[in-house]
Every structure is written in structure tokens, then in C-alpha cells.
């Protein structure tokens, strides 16, 4: 799980050097709600000013930077709620975002302007990554902003996002943005120094995990659950974002936003600055990243060993003949996980048939299916192998 020496073995079995001497050319910096709002929920002007200063410093060294910021809902509810507890219903949260987003953006814009930098607001939604035309358009716009010397300040378009299809936290958004702008480095700034072997606030004897080669179930267990009241994520969502990043070929670091000079230390690979996740050699395209890591699984399909080899080794689609069993109540285009005879999940994909049909067709050959029916349960274009 943890190590300290390059080169590392990539996801496709190839070896790639992790070159500490090479400085990144493009950085995506994500700042969480807990790091940009005060305990009372107000926008923390001083905290944003600190990050803006550090962004200006890396820009002065020739690096390009994109900021992904949370805090719109928290800032908006401070104005709307008059000190009451933050609500949980989606429509009210979206209304709070509409109020808070421009206040948050004003603080970022002013902070960057004091350092001679121009901020550009970019609001993104999941469909900007799923639909290829939207993806290409978003990539062009962000790329052009960066070419013009602008610092894009990105947030999810919470005010109009459909609750059924949204990021839910900006950690995943930041990771997908890192892929979008072909970044070298994703920095997830939060209120802790990184990922620990346990909760240091509860028991003693835990240590910071400084480098991660592979994200496994034990590491996910250490990450725990949701974080602060102000945010929607937590260490678990940051770990998921790091996983997206490394599968994009992007190095990721979780670090403490309050640490003086944290960005410079991350770029300079200062020991102990945070938890660094080594990028994989195998890179997934944006849509498959979304399927693999950003869409929740609605069920599981167990396949036999022959089907598993066909999917993993030959890049085939999943046909009914290879299905052994299914669980969950999923519909067409929902995401499901695939497991083999050993019960280990090895892939994820979008199904073309609902769960009752998959169960009915399990084990059947294509010639046994109804006429004029596409035979694929999961087409290879909608399948991601994660071995």
C-alpha cells in the first residue's frame, strides 16, 4: 500500500519512473468547504487570501493553475438561514448555492486580483464529462482561459444540477478537472495533514501515510466516512478523487490547507507535507473514469471464469452466456460491478438490460435470445476493467 522508491509498476504492468526532479506544468488545487469557511459558515477571506498567495507563487514559477473551490452552499446559508442549522433538502441547498456562489467568487476574484491575477468563474456539471461534445467544449474553454493567463475558479453548478446526476462533492470534480486540463498534479487541500493510519484525534500512535502506490480496501477502511458539517465530502471522498487522478495519469496529494507554503512544499516534494498518491501508467479516458469512479453501482453481476478472461484479456463485451448470477435492482444505463468466481470485483460498466432481464438471460447463448435484441449485457465501450 505504501512505499517510498520509484520506479513503480503501473496498472497495465508497465513501469514508469516517478520523476521527483520534474516540476509540474499544470496544477489543479481543490479547497474544501472546511478550509474556505469559518466555524460560523462565513466565507473565510483570510484562508482564501492565503491560497491565492500560494497560487500566485506557483504561477510566478511558470506553472499553470486551476482552482476548484467549495463553500457556495455554506456561504449562501449563512445569509439565508440567520444562524439556523444547515438544511438537508436538495432544493433549499441549491437555493443557498445560488446566493452563496457569487459571494464566494467575489472573494476569490479580489484575492487573486491583489496578486495581479485574473480569475474566471467556471461552473461545471456531470454531463460536461459524460457527453463527449460537452466534454470537448469544456476542455476548449478551460484551455483557452489558461492560455490567456486566467486562473479558472471552478465549482459545481449546484443551483441547477439535477440531484439524480451530480458530483455530490468537489473532490471528484477536481479529479475530473485534472484530467480535463491534462494536469500533472492534483492538490486536495483540507483541514488535516493527509491520510493517517487511524484517527489521531481519538487515539495515539497513528502516523501519516506519506506515499501510496495502490489504493486498496484497507486504505479505504482507514479513510472512514464523511467529514465536517460544512462540507459534503471527507477523507473517503478525497481517496476516491485520488483514485480518479492516478488512473488519469495525474499525481495527487492530500495536504493541510492551513500549512504555510503548502503548495510550494507539495511541488517541491517536501517530506511530510501530505499523502502523495503515485500516478498509474495506464490512463483511462474521461467517460470511463466517470463510469469507474463517479457513478455509484446499483448492483453486481457475477460472471464465470471464461467471461472474465474475455473481458479482461480480449476486451470483449459481456454476453448473457457468461453471466452466473445477479443482485441489485438496476435499470438500463445504470452502473453495476462485475465479480468473478472468487467474488472479487474486477470491472464496472453500464448495463443495457434491467436486472430482471439479466437474471432471466443468465447463461443463455445469443441464439437463444429474442430476435432483434442486442445481445450485450454490457458493451465493451461502457465497461471499465480495474484489475
User: When comparing pLDDT for 14 and 332, which is higher?
Assistant: 332
Share of the chain above pLDDT 90, in %: 52
Residue 308, phi then psi, degrees to nearest 5: -60, -45
One-letter-per-residue 3-state SS of the chain: CECCCCCEECCCCCEECCCCCCCCCEEEEEECHHHHECCCCCECHHHHHHHHHHHHHHHHCCCEEEEEECCHHHHHHHHHHCCCCCCCCHHHHHHHHHHHHHHHHHHHHHHHHCCCCCEEEEEECCHHHHCHHHHHHHHHHHHHHHHCCCEEEEEECCCCCCCCCCCCCHHHHHHHHHHHCCCCEEEEEECCCCCECCCCCCCCCCCECCEECCCCHHHHHHHCCCCCCCCCCCHHHHHHHHHHHHHCCCEEEEEECCCCCHHHHHHCCCCCCEEEECCCCCCCCHHHHHHHHHCCEEEEEEECHHHHHHHHHHCCCECHHHEEEEEECCCCCCEEEEECCCCCEEEEEECCCCHHHHHHHCCCCHHHCCCCCCCCCECHHHEEECC
Stretch among 57-66, 104-113, 133-142, 351-360 having the lowest mean pLDDT: 133-142
Stretch among 146-155, 176-185, 212-221, 310-319 having the lowest mean pLDDT: 212-221
**What is the residue whose three cell numbers read 475530473?**
176
Stretch among 6-15, 109-118, 193-202, 355-364 having the lowest mean pLDDT: 6-15
Q: Rounded mean pLDDT of the chain?
A: 85
Where are the domain boundaries for CATH 2.30.130.10 in the chain? 296-385
CB-CB neighbours of 200 under 10 Å: 14
Q: Which residues contact 121 (CB under 8 A, 6 or more apart)?
A: 105, 109, 153, 155
Q: Which CATH superfamily is domain 296-385 in?
A: PUA domain (2.30.130.10)
| Closest to 53 measured CA to CA, from 383, 15, 45 | 45
**What is the residue whose three cell numbers read 503548495?**
263
**CA 203 to each of CA 7, 15, 206, 224: distance values in angstroms, whole numbers, following the listed order:** 35, 38, 7, 15
Looking at residue 331, its pLDDT comes to 95
The pLDDT of residue 16 is above 70: no
User: When comparing pLDDT for 5 and 285, which is higher?
Assistant: 285
**What is the residue whose three cell numbers read 459558515?**
41
Residue 82, phi then psi, degrees to nearest 5: 50, 45
Query: Which set of grid coordinates corresponds to residue 315?
Result: 476486451
Is the Cα dihedral 32, 33, 39, 45 positive or negative? positive
Query: Which set of grid coordinates corresponds to residue 97?
Result: 448555492
Distance CA(62)–CA(58), nearest Å, equals 7
Is the Cα dihedral 29, 33, 35, 37 positive or negative? positive
Distance CA(252)–CA(183), nearest Å, equals 10
Looking at residue 257, its pLDDT comes to 93
User: When comparing pLDDT for 310 and 82, which is higher?
Assistant: 310
Where are the domain boundaries for CATH 3.40.1160.10 in the chain? 21-288
Looking at residue 5, its pLDDT comes to 27
Mean pLDDT, range 216-242, rounded to an integer: 67
Looking at residue 216, its pLDDT comes to 75
Residue 6: pLDDT band (50, 70, 90) is very low
| Closest to 264 measured CA to CA, from 56, 54, 66 | 54
Output the CATH code of domain 21-288: 3.40.1160.10
Residues 262, 264, 266, CA angle at the centre, nearest 5°? 65
Residues 104-161: pLDDT tens digits? 999 999 999 999 999 999 999 877 877 778 888 999 999 999 999 999 999 988 766 6
The pLDDT of residue 20 is above 60: no
Residues 167-201: pLDDT tens digits? 657 898 999 899 999 999 999 999 888 888 866 66
The C-alpha R_g of the chain, in whole angstroms, comes to 22
User: When comparing pLDDT for 32 and 253, which is higher?
Assistant: 253
Distance CA(196)–CA(209), nearest Å, equals 5
Q: Taking a C-beta distance cutoff of 8 angstroms, is the pair 338, 300 a contact?
A: yes
The pLDDT of residue 282 is above 90: no
Looking at residue 166, its pLDDT comes to 53
Looking at residue 106, its pLDDT comes to 95
Looking at residue 1, its pLDDT comes to 41
Distance CA(334)–CA(38), nearest Å, equals 38
Query: Which set of grid coordinates corresponds to residue 374?
Result: 442486442
The pLDDT of residue 374 is above 60: yes
Distance CA(275)–CA(311), nearest Å, equals 33
Stretch among 78-87, 221-230, 284-293 having the lowest mean pLDDT: 221-230
Q: Taking a C-beta distance cutoff of 8 angstroms, is the pair 387, 214 a contact?
A: no
Amino acid at each position: 500500500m505504501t512505499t517510498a522508491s520509484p520506479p513503480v509498476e503501473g496498472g497495465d504492468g508497465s513501469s514508469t519512473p516517478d520523476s521527483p526532479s520534474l516540476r509540474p506544468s499544470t496544477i489543479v488545487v481543490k479547497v474544501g468547504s472546511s478550509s474556505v469557511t469559518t466555524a460560523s459558515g462565513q466565507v473565510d477571506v483570510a484562508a482564501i487570501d492565503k491560497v491565492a498567495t500560494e497560487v500566485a507563487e506557483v504561477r510566478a514559477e511558470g506553472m499553470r493553475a486551476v482552482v476548484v473551490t467549495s463553500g457556495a452552499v455554506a456561504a449562501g446559508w449563512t445569509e439565508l438561514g440567520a444562524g439556523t442549522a444547515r438544511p438537508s433538502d436538495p432544493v433549499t441547498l441549491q437555493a443557498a448555492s445560488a446566493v452563496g456562489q457569487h459571494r464566494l467568487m467575489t472573494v476569490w476574484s479580489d484575492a487573486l486580483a491583489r496578486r495581479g491575477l485574473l480569475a474566471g468563474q467556471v461552473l461545471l456539471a456531470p454531463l460536461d464529462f459524460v457527453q463527449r461534445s460537452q466534454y470537448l467544449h469544456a476542455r476548449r474553454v478551460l484551455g483557452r482561459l489558461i492560455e490567456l493567463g486566467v486562473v479558472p475558479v471552478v465549482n459545481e453548478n449546484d443551483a441547477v444540477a439535477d440531484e439524480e446526476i451530480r458530483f455530490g462533492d468537489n473532490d471528484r470534480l477536481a479529479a475530473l478537472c485534472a484530467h480535463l486540463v491534462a494536469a500533472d498534479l492534483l492538490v486536495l487541500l483540507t483541514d488535516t495533514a493527509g491520510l493517517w493510519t487511524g484517527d489521531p484525534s481519538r487515539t495515539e500512535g497513528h502516523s501519516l501515510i506519506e506515499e501510496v502506490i495502490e489504493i486498496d480496501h484497507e486504505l479505504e477502511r482507514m479513510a472512514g466516512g464523511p467529514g465536517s458539517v460544512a462540507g459534503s465530502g471527507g477523507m473517503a471522498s478525497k481517496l476516491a478523487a485520488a483514485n480518479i487522478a492516478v488512473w488519469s495519469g495525474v499525481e495527487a496529494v492530500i495536504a493541510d490547507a492551513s500549512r504555510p507554503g503548502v503548495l510550494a512544499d507539495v511541488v517541491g516534494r517536501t517530506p511530510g507535507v501530505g499523502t502523495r498518491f503515485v500516478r498509474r501508467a495506464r490512463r483511462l479516458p474521461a467517460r470511463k473514469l466517470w463510469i469507474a469512479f463517479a457513478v455509484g453501482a446499483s448492483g453486481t453481476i457475477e460472471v464465470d471464469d471464461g467471461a472474465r478472461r474475455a473481458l479482461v484479456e480480449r476486451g470483449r463485451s459481456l454476453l448473457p452466456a457468461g453471466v452466473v448470477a445477479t443482485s441489485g435492482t438496476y435499470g438500463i444505463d445504470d452502473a453495476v460491478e462485475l465479480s468473478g468466481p472468487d467474488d472479487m470485483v474486477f470491472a464496472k460498466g453500464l448495463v443495457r438490460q434491467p436486472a430482471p432481464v439479466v437474471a432471466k438471460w443468465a447463461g443463455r447463448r445469443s441464439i437463444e435470445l429474442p430476435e432483434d435484441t442486442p445481445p450485450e449485457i454490457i458493451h465493451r465501450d461502457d465497461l471499465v476493467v480495474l484489475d
